[in-house]
Amino acid sequence: MPRFMVTGGAGFIGSNLTEMLVEQGHSVAVFDNLATGSDENLSGIRSRIDFVRGDIRDKAAIEAAMQGMDYVIHLAALGSVPRSIEDPATTHEVNATGTLNVLNAARTAEVKRVVCASSSSVYGDTAVLPKEEQMTPSPLSPYAVSKVTGEYYCKAFHRVYGLETVALRYFNVYGRRQDPASQYAAVIPRFVDAMLRGKGPVIYGDGEQSRDFTFVDDCNQANIKACFARGCEGMHFNVGCGGRVSINDLFRKIRDSLGSKAEPVYEPARKGDVRDSLASISRARELLGYEPENGIDEGIRKTVKWYLERYGNPELK
């Protein structure tokens, strides 16, 4: 039975991934410092996994935990463009140096493959759509720089040391367990949370900016397939839905799903945000066997259902 390590496995994407791996019968260890993840996210499967509380900036800790692993899916990171603008040094330490530590530990432990989470933000604000993997990165924020740095480390470790690596550029992942309480919360949980409390959610800019939203189960399908696919070593791939929706349309979809009457509150656009994003997923389809199964309407339905079950359904206004 292959042995998996999921760094950041107590977080939003990571806990869903860990659950999926366990359900598929794999042996899983989670490495997480619980800075942005939580024990609660793993409560349903805690007895079926090994949990190591540790920080990827701690080289000794990650090296010790890596022993005996076959595959590493590296999700541990500090997300958020605004947070990276406020504190670029910490974002770099966690996302870039932390990734270097993970790769070094994997090389020493003779891990078969490392799948590393990257981000669509590495493309920057290029007008060309869809975003294709051969496009030159043009990061606009310290967060995006830290993610593309991690990609380059993956490529270098494959070329220099022969460590199999795959980097996945996630496009706006959403779904169950995405934290609405954080000041850096992503757009979908922010919208749901505001409307559940009878308030109008904030939209930055005019709301006509567009995104390719990826349901978390589809993202994790790609994570697992990237561990086993052949002919993709040292490469990077887009992981998206292959369609895009404006933020205004997204708001309306969530409002309709909740039965809310809220109206949005518009504020100035934020620094570092890109205008439009759309993934070309043809390379992932061809080489990873990736095929998203949840369009935006189905994904929103599942997501809203989870939030209502988790946080209740107060009277909507």
Distance in angstroms (rounded) separating the CA atoms of residues 30 and 167:
19
Asked if 84 and 78 touch (Cβ cutoff 8 Å), the reply is yes
Give the CB-side neighbour count of residue 254, counting CA atoms within 13 A: 29
Distance in angstroms (rounded) separating the CA atoms of residues 316 and 303:
17
Q: Is 161 tagged catalytic?
A: no
Catalytic member of 143, 170, 174, 307: 143
Q: Report the 3 state secondary structure along 44-100.
A: CCHHHCEEEECCCCCHHHHHHHHCCCCEEEECCCCCCHHHHHHCHHHHHHHHHHHHH
Token reading at 48:
């079926």
- State the catalytic residues: 143
